[in-house]
A and B are shown apart, each in its own frame.
Chain A
Amino acid sequence: MSEQSKDVCDPSSAAEASDSEVNSSPGVPGGLSPPASQAAILAGPETPPLGPTDAPLASPPPQAPSEEGDPKALQQASEEGRAHQAPSVAQPGPAPPAPAQLVQKAHELMWYVLVKDQKRMIIWFPDMVKDVIGSYKKWCRSILRRTSLILARVFGLHLRLTSLHTMEFSLVKALEPEELDRVALSNRMPMTGLLLMILSLIYVKGRGARESAVWNVLRILGLRPWKKHSTFGDVRKLITEEFVQQNYLKYQRVPHAEPPEYEFFWGSRASREITKMQIMEFLARVFKKDPQAWPSRYREALEEARALREADPSAHCPRNSVSED
């Protein structure tokens, strides 16, 4: 975690304060705030954080244990961090803002995150700091935490740090997964249906789907690469650029193919958001067959579902500790 970018505001520790899961490698609590604000965070959402000492910290303690949201360990680590930089004098920082201002920032951040998600854009932590948090960077952890609480309570959404490496957040439904809500509203279905069609094809093939194969399938829907469609517009651009940019698909050149050919793979976002079981159910619906008509794929989907259940038993409970009601 480079010194110059984080100060006291580190996406991983902020995320850990708000959400007890970090999906990727254990977050090293690089940017640490004084234990006072740590206590404030443990105390509850109402207490504003105190941050009079906001000295930029030296590199994080090398043996930081992988505390996945253990507040005590986090506190320990922060104390270690402070011990490390005891010789350097804490610069007197700006006076902490009024609680109301932090609350307002949390609301702005909430809206920002909702809109980004609505547009299916990546929620990037540095963008959050630049666009919303701005000069309140030193309190971003508490702002982030309050935003997560609101999102969970009011929208039933988890603001989750999905990749510490790329500092990406995403909004994940905390409610019982009702696959393809969008099916309930047909005006959203076209995009999703198109994407699912391609993802299903890739899945059934078990490896990348050549572009020619994809177009064979899309031809059934009346879509052609050279024709503009009333709903989709430029279909080729949509699937080779937009879906790729949103990380739903990967579009790669087939090695050694002459003349050059391209193939599609699942993108990282598709792997995160869509389960194999959802694909099986989609196939079943589209082809009006039982999912078991694709036996090996169905088995795979079952295994994935089991693995997901074991990894996260709380995923099936619509309630979690955050959304008390």
Chain B
Amino acid sequence: MEEGRAERRRRTEAPSHTQGGPRRAGVMTDVHRRFLQLLMTHGVLEEWDVRRLQKHCYRVHDRTAAVEELEDFINNINSVLESLYIEIKKGATEDDGRPVYALVNLATTSVSKMASDFAENELDLFRKALELIIDSETGFASSTNILNLVDQLKGKKMRKKEAEQVLQKFVQNKWLIEKEGEFTLHSRAILEMEQYIRETYPDAVKICNICHSLLIQGQSCETCGIRMHLPCVAKYFQSNSEPRCPHCNDYWPHEIPVFDPEKEREAATSRATKRSLRSRQH
């Protein structure tokens, strides 16, 4: 999905200027500027929120104009942002494929966005948790395992109690998600840190066979080991009664999830059933 967008962008954009020169005439209006401001304010937004935001910006600045199709709207903005090494990136929640958007910095200066929020030992705790999550089979790292690493942290000494609170801070700031005492990456962290993660853990990192993006949670083929995101599985095997691994053609051993990203209530209930599925998958 991301390749298509990137290709389209390359075809439509004007040659980018590296100095602060004038952009393509007419692209950046106050509508776009307010959109960017608010997207930045919120960090990460789900698609329905983004659409509301877009409509709000039109209402404020340009009531008469027709609201541009969201994808084109975002592509337009991204063509301006490209020379600044930032972009509005689209991803999906790993458990039920809801599309999310965030303004991300493409320059890989490590966990740059977090750096201003947290102390040195807190950042290191995050890095340790990140490593455990990436190395794990399920994409989850248990609280116990993370807390056991507290002695190895750089910076000021941190007690386990303190570390528990720091982990909660990560959850509140949408860097981690907690489920039953285990932690995985929030879709925001995946969106913003994908590049950093790929470069820092090139051997351990897992990639989805379908969309080729970073994979933290997903299903894997027991024969050849390739992995797929749950939403990617759902899409790929849609209405396929005999799902087979796209790589080795063996029968796909897991239950195929069914998604309708529009209906969130369904997603919420299927999340509960998927939790029990996940424990069987690996």
The residues of A with any CB-CB pair to B shorter than 8 Å are 45-46, 99-100, 103, 106-108, 110-112, 114-119, 121, 131, 146, 149-150, 153-157, 173, 175-176, 178, 181-182, 184-185, 187-188, 233, 318, 323-325
Contact = CB atoms under 8 A, between A and B. Distances in A.
Nearest to A112: B116
Contacts of A150: 20, 84
A142 to B, nearest CB: 11
A48 to B, nearest CB: 9
Chain A at the B interface: SS class:
helix
B19 A318 contact: no
A116 B116 contact: yes
A106 B81 CA distance: 14
Contacts of B21: 45-46
Interface string B78-112: 00110011100000000000000000010101001
Interface residues of B, number: 39
23 contacts: A46-B20, A46-B21, A100-B18, A103-B20, A107-B85, A108-B107, A117-B40, A118-B41, A153-B20, A154-B33, A154-B80, A154-B81, A155-B40, A156-B34, A157-B37, A175-B30, A176-B30, A181-B37, A182-B41, A185-B42, A185-B49, A185-B52, A188-B41
B33 A45 contact: no
Contact of A325 (B29, B52, B60, B112): B29
A318 B85 CA distance: 26
A184 B58 CA distance: 12
B84 A110 contact: yes
B210 interface: no
B243 to A, nearest CB: 37
B125 to A, nearest CB: 18
A37 to B, nearest CB: 17
Contacts of B20: 45-46, 103, 106, 146, 149-150, 153
B196 to A, nearest CB: 14
B40 to A, nearest CB: 5
A52 B60 CA distance: 48
A48 B233 CA distance: 52
A115 to B, nearest CB: 6
Residue in B23, B85, B116 with the greatest tally of chain A CB atoms within 10 Å: B116
A119 B114 CA distance: 10
A108 B109 contact: yes
B207 to A, nearest CB: 27
Given A45-B19, A150-B20, A181-B34, A176 B42 contact: no
B211 interface: no
